[in-house]
Amino acid sequence: MSDSINDLTELVLAFREERDWRQFHNPKDMALSLVLESAELLELMQWRNGAELDMHLMANKDRLKEELADVLGWILLLASDQQIDLAEAFRKKIELNKKKYPIEKSKGSARKYDEL
């Protein structure tokens, strides 16, 4: 079984098609679902920091995997429906970020590009 973006997209599209859920998946509601799933990911980490957070995530790794998978599923569906090649979009975004965050200015810094 391949884990490429295209293969994972086909998997989630088949899941949706088998359940006839496409009718409910407009861009706004899919983006809303993406945010809600992201909030569930954040909830897993809320009020914890440092070593406590690390230990909590280790102890709840299955839930962490599930929440990340939910987020990925919505990203794959939304990109597919909007005919966006995620691999290409990601590569282009990394190139833009390289220009915004040149190594000589940003290495070891958490500052935003306009503060460098």
Backbone angles phi, psi at 20, to 5 degrees: 55, 45
Contact 67/44 with Cβ under 8 angstroms?
yes
Instruction: Flag whether pLDDT at 113 surpasses 90.
Output: no
Average pLDDT, the chain: 96
- The predicted-structure confidence for 86-101, as pLDDT tens digits, reads as follows 999 999 999 999 999 9
User: For 30-74, what is each residue's pLDDT tens digit?
Assistant: 999 999 999 999 999 999 999 999 999 999 999 999 999 999 999
**For residues 34 and 55, what is the distance between their CA atoms, to the nearest angstrom?**
26
Q: Give the pLDDT of residue 1.
A: 65
